[in-house]
Amino acid sequence: MADDALFDFLHMEIVSHATKSDPSCLQDGDEAMSKLEQIGYSTGYRFIERLTKDLSRFKDELEVMKAICKDFWSAVFKKQVDNLRTNHQGVYVLQDNKFRFLASISNSRQYLELAPKYLVFTCGLLRGALASLGLTCIVTAEVTTMPACKFQVHLQRA
């Protein structure tokens, strides 16, 4: 329980530190958000290596995504993804109805405009984990109602 609180505070502090220098941090292409996403990427890359070191190789990308939704998400956020959808053409949508980093902000629409900066780290976390497992992708996040969010994973085909 104490580890969970420490992780939440660490995430809030990382976001605060990254955005302190530039209050207009919600704009696309912002250097602070790029740095935050890169921190998430390197963390996810290393974390999934440790998590899967004793597992056999995954046979396809769907199996990788299922492992991300169950094992990886449980290890990081202490719960599984609520919903996984795919169009079977390289686009996956992971839905979390009570996303941990948004639940700590607010359950109302009051902070909806601040929500994207709290999702950048997790987008990087997902992208890094998938890169470590051999899948190159672009990860975006969307929030319509707090604290629910959707992460869209667009796999890059070689």
pTM: 0.85
Q: Quick one: pLDDT at residue 15? A: 75
Q: Quick one: pLDDT at residue 113? A: 77
Q: Quick one: pLDDT at residue 26? A: 47
Contact call for residues 114 and 23 (beta carbons, < 8 A)? no
Query: Which position has the token pair 């199996």?
Result: 63
The domains found in the chain, sorted by start residue, are 2-18+30-155 (3.30.1380.20)
pLDDT in tens, 103-140: 777 766 667 777 888 899 999 999 999 999 999 999 99
Phi-psi region of 114 (alpha: psi -120 to 50; beta: other; left: phi over 0): alpha
Q: Quick one: pLDDT at residue 93? A: 97
Residue 86 has phi, psi (to 5 degrees) of -145, 155
Q: Quick one: pLDDT at residue 60? A: 92
CA 154 from chain centre, in angstroms, equals: 13
Distance CA 30, CA 22 (A): 9
Mean pLDDT score, 58-87: 94
pLDDT in tens, 82-113: 999 999 898 999 999 998 888 777 766 667 77
